[in-house]
């Protein structure tokens, strides 16, 4: 993939991620002043994940990188506006959730349970297990990536997670 094609792909994916982020942010009653920031964070996070996947990183590792970016930007904006970083992190994180892998895992298990032929059950079960592991690891890395910048900032500032000195 050439540099121009990658740039177009990142802009396209980032733009659609910004739209999805805005939708989820409005759904979660994010204040109007924060919506453009959420959209920008969502676009940058999804574009970074796409770039990392395009460069050969796996889905879970690419999601960790994107989540760290989302967490860092959310922490910075939370400090600037004096609000919780959750305000800026939840909406942008939702487009990174691996819904298709979770769906394939559950559907694979349902197909194994309903399969009258035992010969293909091993393949179906293995595929379901693989998709379930991908979804689980990606969600774990997404959670850790969003939480780590805020925790690191709190530790650096000598304050607890609630922002108060111990």
pLDDT tens-digit profile of 44-81?
A: 999 999 999 999 999 999 999 999 999 999 999 999 99
pLDDT of residue 124: 82
The residues spanned by each domain of the chain are 3-97+139-157
Percentage of the chain surpassing pLDDT 70?
Answer: 92
pLDDT greater than 80 at residue 163: no
The more confidently predicted of residues 117 and 144 is: 144
User: Considering the entire predicted model, what is its pTM?
Assistant: 0.87
Percentage of the chain surpassing pLDDT 90?
Answer: 76
Q: How far is CA 163 from CA 68, 87, 98, 106, 166, in A?
A: 20, 15, 31, 40, 9
pLDDT greater than 60 at residue 17: yes
Q: Which of 161, 153, 166, 162 is nearest to 74 (CA)?
A: 153
The mean predicted confidence, pLDDT, of the chain is 90
pLDDT greater than 90 at residue 166: no
User: Tens digits of per-residue pLDDT, 79-104?
Assistant: 999 999 999 999 999 999 999 999 99
pLDDT greater than 90 at residue 156: no
Please give the full DSSP string across 75-141, using - where no structure is assigned.
HHHHHHHTS-THHHHHHHHGGGS-HHHHHHHHHHHHHHHH-S-SSSHHHHHHHHHHHHHHHHHHHHH
**Alpha-carbon span 8 to 27, nearest angstrom:** 29
């Amino acid at each position: 993939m050439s540099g121009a094609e990658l740039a177009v792909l990142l802009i396209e994916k980032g733009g659609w991620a910004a739209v999805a982020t805005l939708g989820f942010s409005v759904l979660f009653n994010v204040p109007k002043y924060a919506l453009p920031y959420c959209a920008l964070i969502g676009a940058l996070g999804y574009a970074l994940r796409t770039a990392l996947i395009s460069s050969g990183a796996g889905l879970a590792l690419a999601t960790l990188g994107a989540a760290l970016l989302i967490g860092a930007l959310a922490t910075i904006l939370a400090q600037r506006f004096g609000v919780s970083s959750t305000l800026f992190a939840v909406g942008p994180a939702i487009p990174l959730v691996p819904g298709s892998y979770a769906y394939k895992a559950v559907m694979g298990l349902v197909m194994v349970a309903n399969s009258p032929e035992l010969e293909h059950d091993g393949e179906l079960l293995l595929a379901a297990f693989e998709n379930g592991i991908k979804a689980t690891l990606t969600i774990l890395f997404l959670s850790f990536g969003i939480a780590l910048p805020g925790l690191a900032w709190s530790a650096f500032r000598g304050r607890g997670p609630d922002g108060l000195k111990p």
